[in-house]
Chains A and B, each alone.
Chain A
Amino acid sequence: MTNFTSLTEACDAVRSFIQLCVDDPHAAGFGELALDLFAFQFAHNTAFANLCQAENLTPETVGDWRDIPTVQTRAFKALDLTVLPEADRETLFRSSGTTQVDRSRHFHCAETLSVYHASLRPWFAGHLVDESANRLLFLLPELAQAPESSLVHMMDSVAKRLAKREHCFAADCQWRIDGQAAVDFLHDCTTQNEPVTILGTAFSFVHLLDHLNADAMDFQLPSGSAAMETGGYKGRSREMPRTKLHQAITTKLGVASGRIICEYGMCELSSQAYDGKLGQANTAPRLFRFPPWARARVVSPETLADVELDQVGLLQVVDLANAGSVLSLQTEDLARRHADGFELLNRAELSESRGCSLMNLIHA
């Protein structure tokens, strides 16, 4: 067991492990590093340590990474879950939300951001980069316009890494699509016969499609074009079932259905899951997979123990790339467990409640 004496040491260890996994996806050492990070976070993240002590699950008593106490993602709204002293909290990732109190806060510094980048880049590249050197159309604001969005941060990192490719960020600080800019860019891709990858949230795709519909316009984007869609509407557009949205992306933009990839990520995590790879046939149901340095578990909400294969439960993620906050998270998402990934259940299907309440009025 390694006792990290500084955040630098912890971050270095995580980056090395990520590199190890990039070279060999079956590299050993996940559990050990998870426990080392747990001890480090227990020592430096007070809010987390208090939870561990209340549950009597501390580095002294925990010998298996599965027993590391999980933090509900919603807790990021109420507590400062970080190992960083206040002076070092240089960057803040916030979830979207209408008021300050219902937005999560995930603090970063240069070192934790470098782990964030080390984590996101190879997994993104493995799923959304193939031999086709696509241009990139981001249906997102630029980093300067939305510095607190982890998704924008991620896409900025992708754009920098693929700097040789032409790209366009086609949304403003309010996340409103600049329809004309997007259309001009797509038009140029078509006339130049250069494939393009369009990346955005579900609602930004709906905005783009609405824009095309309003002008009775559609595209047959060059072969090799692709799309990355990440869930969530957050009331910013009408909601479309995922299959319908993907069909519309295919018919209105000419992106082959096998080249539409979904991403699952959140501001409280530093790694992302994808439900397919470009160039690889997708099978139904489409399964999400995290990189080897982040492990997903599907647990029974009743007992918090792993569910059996094919059963539905709450999704938990142990993400080693969360070096500076908490590595073990419990999400609010329901998933079905599969042998080699998880199936995310449509949030819309889950929203209906049997009881009598005003769920849309107030949330805990």
Chain B
Amino acid sequence: MPEQPLDYFLADKPGAQPTHSLITEASQTLRRNRNEYLATLGNEQIIFKLAEVANLWRSPDYPLRQIALDADPEETGFPREVLAAGLDACFADWTQEKFFMLLTQEFGDPTRLQSFASQPNRTYSMVNSPQLIAHIAPGNLPVPVFQSIAFGLLLRSAQFVKCASGKSLLPRLFGHSLHFVEPGMAAALEIAEWDGGNESLESALFAEADCVTVNGGDKTVESIRQRLPLAKRLAGYGHRVSFGYVEKQANEVMGTQTVISHAADDIVAWNQHGCLSPHVIYVEENGSLNPARFAEMLAGELEARNETMPRGPISTKESAAISTARRFYKIRSANNAGAALWESEDSTDWTVVHEDERQFQTSPLNRFIFVKPIEHIDEVLHVLEPIRQSVSTVGLAASEARMRDLALPLARWGVPRICPLGQMQRPPLAWRHDGRPPLGELIRWADLETA
């Protein structure tokens, strides 16, 4: 790749402040570019290019990947090792086969993206994609932005990605790799940054877009919902929480160290900064692996992980939240008041709290995990009833047979995603975010009824 300054997207220009008219103009250009090129491409061409982009990102010496890994963690949100592992996990799944599986999952027949295909009831249907999608990107993780852009390309939609101020580096680097691989596709993509809630800029964007996706806090989603004209589609994803669940015989089937290691995988992935990361791991009582012992072993594992994949520095505010929680549990632990604490020395790098109280607890994150004993899956559902609407993912450690037994009540209760412990932050490409169809959510159908 030639050495050249990264100057293509609005967000590449330091100090450039977007305006209402600039956004309108940019959106119209994107739509025009899309009509001229992207909209004319076949599934194979788009998927081939996406897989090529992913290949580049998986390569350790890819210059844009190196820029990402060398960047100040303040800018990316993550230290080198954590970011590298997260990028690898994301792009490993971006294969041509998996993209086609996604299209099949969403549309039955991928050709429906380009023409009518028949349905069993003698009608024909095809996908009506949005011409322009506006993405309001989350500030915490980069992967959802990459996925949103890929999904938009699969739909042949022009896309305008709005990042929070100072948070556009990783989306931009991804955009540049696309530009390098296929400039025609990147011509239908714009990336800009401004502080969310700017009504003048956002009204320009919302007026132009056919569909808006939002990843962020519930307040952000709600505020955009209120400002969006009724005819526009909104795919809003607010904050969710996740937890792990260790069945009492899991350690006998899988080996204790494997279970512990899987739990640690989920805690160190993206330093817990994502809706899919666990706050609590429930461990069934009355098995051969005692929940307190599990917590102690997990502490040892997190200490070891911190050697190979350091958590890295965090903000004073985040560190204060951990310190505060630690001091609170420390004195409870010393008084045998239903809690025990394991913590890294002279840093807040990792913390494990074993607490008898079964209530779900939000963690201060950054490798702070609660381990709680639980009698049975039904007890979890009972104590989590107050947050039923907010659960995203449950990571299960259990034999395959037990996994199905446990999944049924969880699914019936309303958990949209159940996966093996250790995979919580590695959802498959085609996963249904909050239980909703990833592409189906963005499109309309066109039906042709024949005589």
Contact = CB atoms under 8 A, between A and B. Distances in A.
Interface residues of A, number: 38
Interface stretch (A35-43, A142-150, A219-227, A349-357): A349-357
A123 to B, nearest CB: 26
Given A354-B140, A357-B365, A70 B327 contact: yes
A278 B169 CA distance: 49
B272 A355 contact: yes
Interface string A261-290: 000000000000000000000000000000
Nearest to A52: B334
B362 A301 contact: no
Contacts of B359: 362
Interface stretch (A8-16, A73-81, A172-180): A73-81
A334 B324 contact: no
B318 A304 contact: no
A51 B279 CA distance: 26
A361 B362 contact: yes
Contact of A354 (B77, B240, B347, B390): B77
Contacts of B336: 50
Interface string B322-333: 111101101111
Interface string B121-146: 00000000000000000011100000
B332 A356 contact: no
B273 interface: yes
A361 B346 contact: no
Given A79-B331, A301-B316, A357 B239 contact: yes
B362 A78 contact: no
B273 A301 contact: no
Nearest to A303: B346
A51 B330 CA distance: 7
Contact of B315 (A47, A300, A354, A358): A354
Interface string A186-201: 0000000000000000
B361 A314 contact: no
Interface string B301-332: 00000000000000111111111110110111
Given A301-B323, A361-B362, A364-B361, A356 B318 contact: no
A100 interface: no
B448 interface: no
Among A48, A50, A332, A353, the most chain B Cβ lie within 10 Å of the Cβ of A353
Contacts of A312: 316
B348 interface: yes
Contact of A71 (B140, B320, B327, B363): B327
B387 A358 contact: yes
Interface in B358-386: 359-363, 365-366, 386
Interface residues of B, number: 47
A78 B328 contact: yes
Contact of A301 (B322, B333, B335): B322
Given A312-B316, A357-B363, A75 B328 contact: yes
A302 B347 contact: yes
Contacts of B333: 54
Interface string B233-253: 000000111000000000000
Contact of A334 (B273, B320, B348, B387): B320
Contact of A72 (B327, B335, B337): B327
Nearest to B320: A301
A330 interface: yes
Given A50-B334, A303-B347, A356 B323 contact: no
A358 B241 contact: yes
A359 interface: yes
B27 interface: no
Interface string A59-78: 00000000000111011001
B324 A314 contact: yes
Given A330-B324, A358-B241, A302 B346 contact: yes
Contact of A332 (B320, B330, B332): B320
Interface in A297-356: 300-304, 312-314, 330, 332, 334, 350, 353-356
Nearest to B324: A332
Contacts of A363: 362
Given A302-B348, A355-B365, A362-B359, A75 B327 contact: yes
A55 B328 CA distance: 14
B299 to A, nearest CB: 16
A226 B139 CA distance: 43
Contact of B390 (A302, A334, A358): A358
B338 to A, nearest CB: 9
B277 A356 contact: yes
Contacts of A355: 140, 272-274, 277, 318, 365-366
A53 interface: yes
B240 A314 contact: no
A357 B218 CA distance: 10
B361 to A, nearest CB: 6
B113 to A, nearest CB: 31
A318 B112 CA distance: 70
A47 B331 contact: yes
A78 B363 contact: no
B284 to A, nearest CB: 22
A356 B346 contact: no
B4 to A, nearest CB: 32
B275 interface: yes
Contact of A362 (B141, B317, B360): B360
B328 A364 contact: yes
B309 to A, nearest CB: 18
Among B241, B275, B321, B327, the most chain A Cβ lie within 10 Å of the Cβ of B327
B334 A356 contact: no
Nearest to B322: A301
A195 to B, nearest CB: 40
Among A46, A330, A354, the most chain B Cβ lie within 10 Å of the Cβ of A354
Given A51-B335, A302-B348, A334-B317, A358 B362 contact: yes
A301 B348 contact: yes
B358 to A, nearest CB: 13
Contact of A357 (B279, B324, B328): B279
Contacts of B274: 355-356
Given A362-B360, A362-B361, A54 B330 contact: yes
Interface string A135-163: 00000000000000000000000000000
The 9 closest A-B pairs by CB, nearest first: A72-B327, A54-B334, A301-B323, A301-B319, A355-B365, A301-B320, A50-B334, A356-B275, A51-B334
Given A51-B330, A302-B346, A358-B241, 18 more contacts: A51-B331, A51-B335, A54-B334, A74-B324, A75-B331, A75-B332, A78-B328, A301-B320, A301-B348, A314-B324, A330-B323, A330-B324, A334-B316, A353-B318, A354-B315, A354-B318, A364-B328, A364-B361
Interface of A: 46-48, 50-51, 53-55, 70-72, 74-75, 78-79, 300-304, 312-314, 330, 332, 334, 350, 353-359, 361-364
7 contacts: A51-B334, A54-B334, A79-B335, A301-B323, A356-B239, A362-B361, A364-B328
